[in-house]
Amino acid sequence: MKSIQEIVNEQEPITEELTYDDVIAKLQEAKENNIPIEEGIIGSIVGGLTGATFGPKVMKAICKALGINETGPLGSLFTSRLILTAVGTSVGWKV
């Protein structure tokens, strides 16, 4: 499968002069040729941002439910933005 960037890069490099119309034309061309587009990079970005934003609050609730001290070593690991961003990125890439 080709990524969006590979499809756009087939004829011209990505520059500031590249317009949305060019990207849309390349995507339509890929659709006509039945070329699947790998969207993993978009999912990983969204997953990473979601993990960093909402992850700590969710994990604090999980720590409370499991009786884990949030300021202890395990609770700190569970609520770490770095860890949650990495997990969100990994999950976003797989989905």
Q: Each residue of 3-62: pLDDT tens digit? A: 666 655 665 554 555 566 776 787 788 788 887 766 666 777 777 788 888 888 888 999
Helix axis angle, 81-94 to 40-66, nearest 10°: 130
Enter the tokens of residue 66. Answer: 């499991």
Residue 45: its pLDDT value, please?
75
Mean pLDDT along residues 57-77: 90
Q: What is the pTM of this model?
A: 0.48
Higher pLDDT, 19 or 81: 81
Residue 65: its pLDDT value, please?
93
CB neighbours of 7 closer than 8 A, spacing ≥ 6?
Answer: 26, 27, 29, 30, 35, 37
Q: Residue 75 pLDDT > 60, yes or no?
A: yes
CB neighbours of 83 closer than 8 A, spacing ≥ 6?
Answer: 77
